[in-house]
Amino acid sequence: MAFGKGHHLHLIDGSAFIFRAYHALPPLTRKSDGLPIGAVAGFCNMLHRYVEGNTGPDAPTHVAVIFDKGSHTFRNEIYDQYKANREAMPEDLRPQIPLTRTATEAFNIACKEKEGFEADDIIATLACQARDAGGRVTIISSDKDLMQLVGDGVEMLDAMKNRRIDRDGVIEKFGVGPERVVDVQALAGDSVDNVPGAPGIGIKTAALLINEYGSLEELLDRAEEIKQPKRRQTLIDMRDQIEMSKRLVQLDCETPLEFNLDDLEVRDADPDVLMPFLAEMEFRTLTKRIADQLGVEPPAIPDAPTKAAESAAAPEMPPLDASNYTTVRDAETLKSWVEKAQARGYVAVDTETTGLNEMTADLVGVCLCVDPGKACYVPLAHKASAGDDLFASDDLAEGQMPFNDALAILQPMLEDPSILKIGQNMKYDAKILARLGITVAPFDDTMLMSYAMHGGEHGHGMDTLSERYLNHTPIPIKTLLGTGKSQITFDKVPIDDAAKYAAEDADVTMRLWTLFKPQLHQAQVTRVYETLERPMVKVLADMEMSGVKVDRDVLSRMSNAFAQKMAGLEAEIHELAGETFNVGSPKQLGEILFDKMGLEGGKRGKTGAYATGADVLEDLATEHELPARVLDWRQLSKLKSTYTDALQEHIHSETGRVHTSYVITGASTGRLASTDPNLQNIPIRTEEGRRIREAFVAETGKTLVSLDYSQIELRILAHIADIPALKQAFRDGLDIHAMTASEMFDVPLDEMTPDIRRQAKAINFGVIYGISGFGLARNLRIPRAEAQGFIDRYFERFPGIKDYMNDTKAFAKEHGYVQTLFGRKIHTPEINAKGPRAGFAQRAAINAPIQGTAADIIRRAMIRMPAAIEGQPATMLLQVHDELLFEVENGAEDALIDTARDVMEGAADPVVKLDVTLTVDAGKGQNWAEAH
């Protein structure tokens, strides 16, 4: 069928692709022969991403990449200085030009050029032909010269910003419609192409004049009428030059072409052509990725003879070798290591202990590394081997320095302000040493460096980092400790084995630091690392060691009450089912509900079991008793097992308090995670669950004070997406959800109903999460079409939100990460994936800057807090994302609230000037339920 109505032609400006690729990438060379290849690599990546993105109803039916050919065109006949000021093509780009043609053909995309014609003219000709045939055209370029073609089904797409430019976009840029763009350009000229235009007249003035006179010709004919003398004279004197400029910028829609639109039909790539090409270029990642997607075996790409090119930038390091490590057994040797650290000015430190819980684990040994490859282990508390003896020995193993002697030598070094201590997860070691009276400072943390540079890309544990960046798999701890029931603690490990493992850890840490330190700067995250990551170590270590008092009796009483209620419910459930079964087994429950009782709506998950989640049961509960009872039972079961029972296990035997551990690198967005136990998910939403918080109490004579940011994420959204109505509402202290509802549903605020407000609230939150019609529909339990209607209305009312979402997605697609207002990078490696994963990644990308900025803000508040409340009888205990919990001596609560509120509300200053104020609510009470 000939090109016509219903067809959609994409025209890609090939030169633009090449130059962008060239400038976006470092000067890569082909490993085998050093051929410059960066631009081709970037070009192929862009083509591939382009092809990947071509799904959906808007996908093109026809496509071509258009290139310039030859430097002499008809425009040089008109004006010999045309494009004369262009810089010569960079030497390393020239040989890549023909390869981009080959690449285009390898992707099986039509590749067109014509001697003596600019790509723009070919694009213009094809666009005109396609438009005349009744089809649609998208020109993928940001070249403003092409804007004259827009209109009547022709649009431009700025692939860089992922922004479509239609007629309105052109008017925004040039102040006139596409048909008058050439007139404006003729007047304004173009310094890039060396088009002279009218001196002293830019786009703004040109648009003004053209709009007033209707056309360039009219303007020039009536130039005498212009009031401004200088402008009038210019137009009269420069008439010839202006008219010539117009001929220069006017695209030629009549380029003679040896092919027609039908030759441009979209074709699938042929793996037999594409894969060999990519392999020949030695694009390892891209070859593999595309092979995976095409479902073919990736061709082998031989490794370059040397790895020199790759490691040139990386510091030189000797290979890891355990035989070089020493075991320190006497004071003299230890002192010599400390002296080495002193001389160096930095030292990697790692502690070995009897467990993972810093509040209960005991120090077993310390290792130091002063240089990659030079590491030692100082065993301190290894137990003598029990040998065949069944009775474990409490005696210390031979050949260890006295514990306190060693610490006395190490302490000055660990506290020496002129020696940088380098650790991997320093919070752990700092807490272990703090319990022994040692304050480690100053320090660097390779885990946090990795998090600052690679957050969202991968985990930041030592094994991961070592494998990824050192190409070395450290000795697994399991080989020393065993696993499961027979697992032993580190103090039972023979010293020789322990030394190899421990010293290697310090060595690996030192190597990672050597590698990461210069990279932090290159990745432009030094400030994030130094102001948002590293200072958290001390703040959190102190909070964790403080712990929060938990009243065991309260929990225990609740536990018993829950057990009784659950027993009653269980009996009822069995009665209703007509048989006994394990209510806690989703599998058995599903079979009872859908097989035995024959209820409708059973859906099986991937394991073949029926889904019995709360949403499913809630639907069934309107008609049936049993699922309703199961829901009640489940709630109690959760509260009992996770909270009233498990929390008691976490009460420290000496402090009587619960000491959580925060994972600084736990969440990709910059939020903290809380583990062992998780104190960030203590119930609050239901009355019954909320009572768990009554067990979190203040010490006698003290009070708990809670401060939390009000609507911080919505405020950040208002700022980032620049939504005037939202910002104003926050300034006016309005009920933000009611305001949204009022705007969307045209309901005056004084006639607002709780239900309408509830819907608006769901939409507000949905926006933060990267809303979808489906998600909102499910949340509100309304038809999907209705939910979509709400969203459309919302975007219509707050168009900045839609822009924010599109801009953020485009940024992520281009850069592979998004950023918070404070510069934290959150990587989005899946953003260019195919299938449902792309959707996930896009929504995560939309959410990350908002959630991440809020996380940055509370981090800043926490870091400033200790100095701010210095002297006040108050301790910061917990953080729950937007809340800080303090324990304060009675009578000092209000002073603490004043201070802490100031710190929290001003936490963005002075780095970020928010358009919205941050507001903090405060409460106090004998327990957490009262305080919140």
Partner DNA sequence: CCTGTCACG
Partner DNA sequence: GACGTACGTGACAGGG
The interface with DNA within residues 478-507 (CB under 7 A) comprises: none
**Burial class (CB within 10 angstroms; exposed 0-12, middle 13-18, buried 19+) of 323:** exposed
Least distance (Å) between residue 630 CB and DNA? 8
The interface with DNA within residues 895-914 (CB under 7 A) comprises: none
Residues in CB range of 360: below 8 A, 6 or more apart: 652
Least distance (Å) between residue 668 CB and DNA? 4
> Nearer to DNA by C-beta: 49 or 690?
690
Q: Binding residues for DNA, how many (CB under 7 A)?
A: 76
Cα of 174 vs its chain's centroid, Å = 36
Least distance (Å) between residue 466 CB and DNA? 19
The interface with DNA within residues 5-34 (CB under 7 A) comprises: none
Examine residue 820 and tell whether it contacts DNA (CB under 7 A): no
Nearest to 75 by CA among 255, 209, 205: 255
> Nearer to DNA by C-beta: 117 or 610?
610
Cα of 641 vs its chain's centroid, Å = 33
Examine residue 848 and tell whether it contacts DNA (CB under 7 A): yes
* Alpha-carbon span 79 to 84, nearest angstrom: 10
Nearest to 712 by CA among 866, 820, 817, 793: 820
> Nearer to DNA by C-beta: 460 or 549?
460
Contact with DNA (CB under 7 A) among 185, 250, 559, 680: 680
Examine residue 619 and tell whether it contacts DNA (CB under 7 A): no
Least distance (Å) between residue 100 CB and DNA? 31
> Nearer to DNA by C-beta: 684 or 912?
684
> Nearer to DNA by C-beta: 612 or 853?
612
Examine residue 675 and tell whether it contacts DNA (CB under 7 A): yes
* Alpha-carbon span 27 to 34, nearest angstrom: 11
Dihedral (C-alpha) 332, 335, 336, 341: value to the nearest 10 degrees? 170
Residues in CB range of 831: below 8 A, 6 or more apart: 809, 812, 813, 816, 838, 841, 842, 845
Yes or no: say if 664 and 824 are a contact pair by the CB < 8 Å rule: no
> Nearer to DNA by C-beta: 439 or 678?
678
Q: What b/e readout covers 71-102, taking b as 16+ CB neighbours within 10 angstroms?
A: eebebeeebeebbeeeeeeeebbeebbebbbe
Least distance (Å) between residue 780 CB and DNA? 7
> Nearer to DNA by C-beta: 211 or 293?
293
Least distance (Å) between residue 483 CB and DNA? 7
Per-residue contact string for residues 587-616; x = within reach of DNA by CB under 7 A: xx-x--------------xxx-x-xxxx-x
What DSSP element (H or E) covers 512?
helix 495-522
Q: What tokens appear for 636 in the block?
A: 């109690």
Least distance (Å) between residue 682 CB and DNA? 6
Contact with DNA (CB under 7 A) among 674, 703, 853, 927: 674
Yes or no: say if 830 and 837 are a contact pair by the CB < 8 Å rule: yes
> Nearer to DNA by C-beta: 285 or 582?
582
Examine residue 567 and tell whether it contacts DNA (CB under 7 A): no
Q: What b/e readout covers 554-586, taking b as 16+ CB neighbours within 10 angstroms?
A: bbeebbeebeebbeebbebbbebbeeebebeeb
Which pairs count as long-range contacts for 312-316, CB under 8 Å and 24+ apart, including other chains?
Answer: 314/515, 315/514, 315/515, 315/518
* Alpha-carbon span 710 to 172, nearest angstrom: 38
Contact with DNA (CB under 7 A) among 734, 765, 872, 930: 765
Examine residue 231 and tell whether it contacts DNA (CB under 7 A): no
Examine residue 762 and tell whether it contacts DNA (CB under 7 A): yes
Examine residue 773 and tell whether it contacts DNA (CB under 7 A): yes
The interface with DNA within residues 38-77 (CB under 7 A) comprises: 56-57
Instruction: Say how many C-beta atoms besides its own lie within 10 A of residue 766's C-beta.
Output: 20
Mark the segment that binds DNA (CB under 7 A) among 134-142, 370-378, 586-594, 749-757: 586-594
* Alpha-carbon span 546 to 776, nearest angstrom: 41
Pairing of strands 702-709, 883-889: antiparallel
Contact with DNA (CB under 7 A) among 197, 770, 800, 925: 770
Least distance (Å) between residue 708 CB and DNA? 7
* Alpha-carbon span 611 to 629, nearest angstrom: 17
Contact with DNA (CB under 7 A) among 299, 775, 816, 823: 775
Cis ω for the linkage preceding 299 (within 30 of 0): no
Instruction: Say how many C-beta atoms besides its own lie within 10 A of residue 356's C-beta.
Output: 11
Mark the segment that binds DNA (CB under 7 A) among 24-32, 164-172, 879-887, 908-916: 879-887
Block residue for tokens 């410059």: 36
Mark the segment that binds DNA (CB under 7 A) among 158-166, 407-415, 880-888, 893-901: 880-888
* Alpha-carbon span 123 to 118, nearest angstrom: 9
Nearest to 858 by CA among 735, 719, 708: 708
Block residue for tokens 């030292």: 347
> Nearer to DNA by C-beta: 423 or 590?
590
The interface with DNA within residues 681-700 (CB under 7 A) comprises: 681-686, 689-690
Least distance (Å) between residue 893 CB and DNA? 21
Examine residue 574 and tell whether it contacts DNA (CB under 7 A): no
The interface with DNA within residues 524-553 (CB under 7 A) comprises: none
Q: What tokens appear for 860 in the block?
A: 């800043």
Contact with DNA (CB under 7 A) among 617, 628, 896, 922: 617
Examine residue 229 and tell whether it contacts DNA (CB under 7 A): no
Cα dihedral sign for 312, 314, 316, 318? negative
Cα dihedral sign for 216, 218, 222, 226? negative
The interface with DNA within residues 641-660 (CB under 7 A) comprises: 641-642, 646
Examine residue 227 and tell whether it contacts DNA (CB under 7 A): no
Mark the segment that binds DNA (CB under 7 A) among 206-214, 346-354, 670-678, 718-726: 670-678
> Nearer to DNA by C-beta: 418 or 607?
607
Contact with DNA (CB under 7 A) among 255, 287, 446, 668: 668
Examine residue 585 and tell whether it contacts DNA (CB under 7 A): yes
Least distance (Å) between residue 589 CB and DNA? 8
> Nearer to DNA by C-beta: 327 or 680?
680
The interface with DNA within residues 623-642 (CB under 7 A) comprises: 631, 634-635, 637-639, 641-642
Least distance (Å) between residue 871 CB and DNA? 29
Least distance (Å) between residue 861 CB and DNA? 13
What residues are paired with 95 via a beta bridge? none
The interface with DNA within residues 366-425 (CB under 7 A) comprises: none
Least distance (Å) between residue 613 CB and DNA? 4
